[in-house]
Amino acid sequence: MKTLSRKLFKFILFAIALLISTEILAAPDIKIENAWIASTEEGDDMSVAYMSLFSNEDLILTSVTSQRIKTIEMHNTIQEKGVMKMRMAHEIRIDQDKTFEFKSGGHHLMLMDFKGPLKAGQKVKLTLHFKDKKNQSFDKSINAVIK
């Protein structure tokens, strides 16, 4: 009987540890839709990317990277004293169960220092880097279509 109790106790501890580790390691469900990049011509050194983000929990988008594009900055367009200006955003909050839009005239991704022109029809892999309310970091990659 003592051995059975000890085995049951060990099993329960293992099950609890498994449940806790699964909760800790579970990444949020993130949907990225309509991701696209503006095409460029030979000699152009900047472009812009847009997309929609949706998550089942509050997140912070900390950066976006790509092997093909050296620098990607998150920007917001604001109106100040009647003049439209761009401001760099170091982080972007994605609210739970709400769609966040990178769109013309608002938040957008500035793409700089890329290799060769970005031609319509091609795809570029972008990796979005997030952190959650527990400050755990994780990534989500997508292929953005060049238009």
pLDDT digits (tens, 9 = 90+) for 1-27: 566 577 666 666 666 665 565 444 567
Inside any domain, residue 99: yes
47: three-class secondary structure by DSSP? strand
Residue 6 CA: distances (Å) to CA of 9, 19, 28: 5, 20, 36
CA dihedral 71, 87, 105, 51 (to 10 degrees): 40
The total number of structural domains in the chain stands at 1
- Are 60 and 91 in contact, with CB atoms under 8 Å apart? yes
Inside any domain, residue 17: no
Q: What is the pLDDT of residues 82-125, one digit of tens each?
A: 898 999 999 999 999 999 999 999 999 999 998 889 999 999 99
Structural domain boundaries, residue 89:
29-146
Inside any domain, residue 53: yes
Q: What CATH number is associated with residue 101?
A: 2.60.40.1890
pTM to 2 decimal places: 0.79
Inside any domain, residue 47: yes
Inside any domain, residue 58: yes
119: three-class secondary structure by DSSP? coil
Residue 19 CA: distances (Å) to CA of 25, 106, 142: 10, 41, 30
**DSSP structure class, residue 120:** T
Inside any domain, residue 110: yes
Inside any domain, residue 100: yes
